[in-house]
């Protein structure tokens, strides 16, 4: 399979096979071409060269017509995308049924659909509120809907692109156990992930891409973390060790904060928190328990209904985004596409969008394009942002490279307080290690860091203090035991 985007070769003559009842892990750095390859399989991209061959249960071979998703769906291929493809104005049930029923059918079999979905949710452990509008769901809940939507169609081949990025460890374990049972019954899975422990636990075989080419394959039981990383990046990498920070003066103080929910979700109730310079405060929790409201509060997007909030000793009774930026708050948002970039603007423009008043960005209202371009060239090299160039629309970047763009924009301003909301979601091992290094670096220069993550391994490896958010409340714990913290994430209180 070959696919070019202008001068960029995203997929360079890649051969790949998937066996009946097999889990194939597809690995590679951000921008390696994994999602591009899967989009050609699913018919969303038309390849410049290459064909997709599918065999049915009877052994009959079909060559799928290029660029036709319906042909892939008819061949019982399902894809759970890294970035959601849901209609926000429709309910969960309607999203799942969308395209699964004849367009001009006079009868909708909603009762049968509910019964089938109830069985699927019981089997998979992935629970979604069927009558709620998707626009009112959290990111984690939307991920579950995407998976259920694919499973509802009785797929034979399932592509999972970063499926556990927003699931708790227990939810991920439950999902993998359910998937393994389906694989044992004949389901074939292509699994894209940057979490190597999941890859080693769930997959049967591993294929690795680098810069648009397949660099090799290995049987999972014969692989280890070191050998996988070497094949992915061409060298050995080490995770920076966590050295305890030295807390300094308070940067953020929240006292008895109460808010409504962001986007109709869970709000905050009597929340108290102090974040000091020189420490990383990790907030773990299942998506939908108030993290969005908390992130909105610190970003200035959600105002407290009661309680007191101060940043670096300055009271913030009615915070707004500009006031928080001016107070020295840097924001790495959870939804990088919706909240992190303006997709129609260039990479260079997005890198300066939060500091348009700076003298190196504009003079008397006129943008200094030469300086903006030089700034962009420097940061894209420094943070390894790969793509078609700094003048290209940021929407053309892969998800991981958009995340690196946001990190570059935030960290290079040396903020006093950094809100890092899912900062390594969708990043490869090398890029995630670099994010960890830079957050430690920011902490050690005196910044306070709030790390919000549903990846418990990330919280354990980075945080100096750990709090768990459940139902709008925060509970601090001294434990670093996955089981204990997982229990707290599920609502159990640990004393």
Residue 112 belongs to a domain: yes
Asked whether the whole model's pTM tops 0.85, one would answer: no
| Residue 409's CATH number | 3.40.50.300
Query: How far is CA 249 from its chain centroid?
Result: 32
Same domain, 342 and 477: yes
Same domain, 366 and 478: yes
Sheet with 271-276, side-by-side order of all strands: 271-276, 250-258, 306-311, 314-315
pLDDT score for 154 = 84
Cβ pair 18, 183 in contact under 8 A:
no
Q: Which helix (H) or strand (E) is 401 found in, with range? A: helix 399-411
Same domain, 80 and 122: yes
First to last CA, the chain: 55
Residue 396 belongs to a domain: yes
Residue 238 belongs to a domain: no
Domain stops at, among 233, 264, 291? 233
pLDDT tens digits, 159-198:
998 887 666 666 677 778 888 888 888 899 999 988 888 8
Distances (CA, A) of 467 to 272, 280, 416, 435, 491: 11, 11, 21, 21, 13
HSE of 194 in the Cβ direction (CA atoms, 13 Å)? 26
Same domain, 87 and 163: yes
Same domain, 210 and 298: no
Q: Read off the pLDDT band of 244 (50, 70, 90).
A: confident
Q: Read off the pLDDT band of 110 (50, 70, 90).
A: confident
Residue with tokens 């596409």: 337
Same domain, 264 and 228: no
Same domain, 10 and 85: yes
pLDDT tens digits, 384-400:
888 888 998 998 887 77
Residue 242 belongs to a domain: no
Domain stops at, among 233, 258, 284? 233
Q: Show the domain range for 464.
A: 250-489
Residue 243 belongs to a domain: no
At residue 298, the 3 state secondary structure works out as helix
Other beta carbons within 10 angstroms of residue 132's beta carbon come to 15
Residue with tokens 């993550």: 453
* Integer Cα distance of 369 and 20 in angstroms: 54
Residue 41 belongs to a domain: yes
Q: How would DSSP label each residue in 125-173? A: -----TTSBGGGS-HHHHHHHHHHHHHHTT-SEEEEESTTTTS-HHHHH
Q: Which two tokens stand for residue 478?
A: 């001294």
Q: Work out the average pLDDT over 17-33.
A: 90
Same domain, 483 and 356: yes
Same domain, 82 and 183: yes
Same domain, 324 and 436: yes
Domain stops at, among 177, 199, 233? 233
Same domain, 439 and 305: yes
Angle at 461 between CA 460 and CA 463, to 5 degrees: 65
Domain count, the chain: 2
Distances (CA, A) of 7 to 39, 40, 245, 353, 387: 19, 18, 45, 27, 10
β-pair partners for 158: 78, 189
Residue 218 belongs to a domain: yes
pLDDT score for 166 = 62
HSE of 117 in the Cβ direction (CA atoms, 13 Å)? 24
Residue 244 belongs to a domain: no
At residue 439, the 3 state secondary structure works out as helix
Angle at 235 between CA 233 and CA 236, to 5 degrees: 115
Same domain, 260 and 350: yes
Distances (CA, A) of 21 to 5, 34, 180: 33, 21, 9
Which DSSP symbol is given to 336?
Answer: I
* Integer Cα distance of 350 and 390 in angstroms: 10
Tell me the pLDDT of the chain averaged across its residues.
87
pLDDT tens digits, 404-436:
899 999 998 899 999 999 888 767 777 788 888
């Amino acid at each position: 399979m070959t696919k070019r985007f202008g001068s960029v070769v995203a997929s360079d003559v890649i051969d790949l096979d998937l066996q009946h009842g097999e889990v194939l892990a597809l690995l590679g750095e951000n921008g390696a071409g994994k999602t591009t390859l899967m989009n050609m399989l699913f018919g969303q991209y038309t390849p410049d060269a290459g064909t997709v061959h599918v065999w049915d249960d009877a052994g009959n071979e079909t060559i799928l017509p290029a660029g036709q998703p319906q042909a892939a769906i008819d061949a019982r291929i399902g894809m759970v995308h890294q970035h959601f493809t849901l209609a926000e104005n429709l309910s969960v049930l309607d999203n799942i049924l969308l395209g699964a029923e004849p367009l001009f059918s006079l009868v909708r079999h909603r009762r049968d659909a509910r019964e089938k979905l109830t069985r699927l949710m019981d089997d998979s452990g992935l629970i979604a509120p069927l009558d709620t509008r998707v626009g009112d769901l959290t990111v984690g809940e939307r991920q579950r809907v995407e998976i259920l939507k694919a499973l509802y169609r009785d797929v034979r081949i399932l592509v999972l692109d970063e499926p556990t990025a927003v699931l708790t460890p227990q939810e991920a374990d439950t999902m993998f156990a359910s998937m393994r049972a389906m694989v044992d019954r004949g389901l074939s899975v292509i699994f894209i992930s940057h979490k190597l422990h999941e890859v080693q636990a769930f997959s049967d075989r591993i294929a690795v891409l680098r810069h648009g080419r397949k660099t090799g394959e290995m049987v999972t039981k014969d692989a280890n973390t070191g050998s996988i990383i070497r094949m992915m990046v061409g060298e050995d990498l080490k995770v920076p060790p966590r050295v305890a920070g030295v807390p300094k003066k308070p940067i953020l103080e929240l006292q008895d904060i109460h808010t409504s929910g962001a986007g109709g979700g869970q709000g905050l109730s009597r929340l108290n928190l102090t974040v000091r310079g020189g420490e990383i405060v990790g907030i773990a929790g299942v998506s939908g328990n108030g993290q969005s409201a908390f992130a909105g509060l610190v970003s200035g997007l959600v105002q407290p209904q009661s309680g007191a909030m101060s940043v670096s000793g300055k009271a913030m009774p009615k915070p707004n985004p500009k006031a928080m930026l001016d107070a020295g708050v840097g924001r790495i948002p959870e939804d990088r596409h919706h909240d992190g970039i303006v997709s129609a603007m260039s990479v260079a423009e997005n890198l300066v969008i939060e500091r348009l008043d700076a003298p190196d960005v504009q003079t008397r209202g006129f943008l200094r394009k030469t300086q903006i371009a030089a700034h962009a060239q420097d940061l894209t090299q420094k943070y390894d942002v790969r793509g078609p160039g700094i003048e290209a629309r940021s929407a053309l970047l892969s998800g991981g490279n958009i995340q690196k763009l946001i990190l570059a924009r935030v960290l290079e301003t040396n903020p006093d307080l950094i809100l890092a909301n899912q900062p390594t979601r969708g990043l490869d091992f090398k890029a995630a290690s670099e994010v960890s290094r830079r957050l430690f670096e920011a902490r050690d220069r005196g910044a306070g860091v709030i790390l919000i993550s549903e990846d418990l391994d990330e919280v354990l490896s980075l945080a100096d203090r750990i709090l768990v958010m459940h139902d709008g409340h925060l509970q601090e714990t001294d434990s670093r035991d996955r089981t204990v913290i997982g229990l707290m994430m599920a609502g159990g209180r640990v004393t």
